[in-house]
Amino acid sequence: MASDWDRGVALYNKSEYRAALVEFQDIVMHRPDVAGAWYYIGLCEFKLKRYERVELPLSHAIDLLEIQTPSSPDIAGAWYTIGISHYLQAHYDKAIEPLKRYVDITSKARHEIDPSARTALARAYFFLERYDEALPLLAGANEKLPASGDRAKELAANSYYRGAIYFKREDDDRAIVALREAVKGNPEDIAAMELLAESLMRKARKPNSEARWQEAAEVGEKLKMVRDDLKTANILGRAYLGGQRFDSAVGPLEKLAKANPDNGQAWLYYGIALSRSGRMRRAMEALEITIQLIPESIPALSELGYVYEADKQYQQALRIYEKAYAVSGDPAMKATVERVRALASQQP
């Protein structure tokens, strides 16, 4: 058995995991009480990325080690490997207890906890929407991660998850800070850029903030360099529109509206951008399409009425304003109807 053991360990250390696995399996066939062999079987399966086969041998190893050598560091290592295996299979509910056992054993032994265990545990809580448990772990994991190389991307990803939690809670102040960190750490993180832009725009509306709209547009422009598609056009167009950069808004909003011919909101935004940038004829067309799709939209009716009035088409403006008043019953709209009716009566 000693030769099998030595050969198995040597093969494992040379990363020849399939061959090593055969040796350790041979050992447990003859001596099922050899905890170390079960442990290595689990490690070999993990290295071979056969994560669904990891738990059984490592559970055998833990049971034996707790009787034979309860102070063995391999117990913590086994719990860690089981937990990470479940995490990598997206079995987040099953990952939590093994990872907690690993953290608890390692902490009591006053050994350093592997940052990847904290990260996996935090993200498992996140994916299970257990946000109160995820947040402190995500912050703690970032404190332990050096900000360089692949670890910098891990840090950025943890910042993204923190930002996503704050965003879901509509805590835009904290979401923006975390998501800025995420984008800084990984400038090509599409999800972080999307969420940062959305959080900035939501914050910009309460109250209206030119600086927030401007930053949202800048994030959208960076996003476009990485991914130029309709989702990006939606973000960029709305950011430009909110920041009153109407000329810039026309392009992305036109792309969005024409790709979604039945989406009244998309046509409304496009029509507003055209109207406010002085492209009245095109604005009329876009807004007429809008009120066909959403006939009782007060913003669409009001904007179309304004466009006709600005073009001195008072009869058309009156027609639209009367519809808007019929829908809203707003006294201010009634006053607009009366004013435009007077203008229309003066036209030949």
Residues 199-213: pLDDT tens digits? Answer: 999 999 987 789 999
| Domain around 22 | 1-113
Asked if residue 101 belongs to a domain, the reply is yes
What is the model's pLDDT at position 143?
64
* Whether 65 contacts 74, CB under 8 Å: yes
The C-alpha atoms of residue 196 and residue 22 are separated, in whole angstroms, by 50
The token pair at 25 is: 């399996």
Asked if residue 56 belongs to a domain, the reply is yes
What CATH number should be reported for the domain holding residue 40? 1.25.40.10
What is the model's pLDDT at position 178?
97
How far from 108 is each of 111, 112, 226, 227, 317, CA to CA, in Å?
A: 8, 10, 46, 47, 76
> pLDDT per residue over 55-106, tens digit each?
999 999 999 999 999 999 999 999 999 999 999 999 999 999 999 999 999 9
Asked if residue 172 belongs to a domain, the reply is no
Q: What angle do CA 238, 241, 243 make, to 5 degrees?
A: 110
Asked if residue 91 belongs to a domain, the reply is yes
Q: Which residues contact 266 (CB under 8 A, 6 or more apart)?
A: 253, 256, 257, 260
Asked if residue 281 belongs to a domain, the reply is no
Max Cα–Cα distance, the chain, nearest Å: 109
User: What pTM was computed for the model?
Assistant: 0.85
Burial of residue 241 (number of CB atoms within 10 Å: 0-12, 13-18, 19+): buried
The C-alpha atoms of residue 145 and residue 298 are separated, in whole angstroms, by 52
Asked if residue 75 belongs to a domain, the reply is yes
Number of domains observed in the structure of the chain: 1
Mean predicted lDDT score pLDDT of the chain: 94
> pLDDT per residue over 157-192, tens digit each?
999 999 999 999 999 999 999 999 999 999 999 999
The C-alpha atoms of residue 199 and residue 216 are separated, in whole angstroms, by 8
Burial of residue 172 (number of CB atoms within 10 Å: 0-12, 13-18, 19+): buried
Asked if residue 43 belongs to a domain, the reply is yes
What is the model's pLDDT at position 28?
94
Asked if residue 22 belongs to a domain, the reply is yes
For residue 208, what is the DSSP state?
B
Residues of the chain with pLDDT under 70: 1-2, 142-150
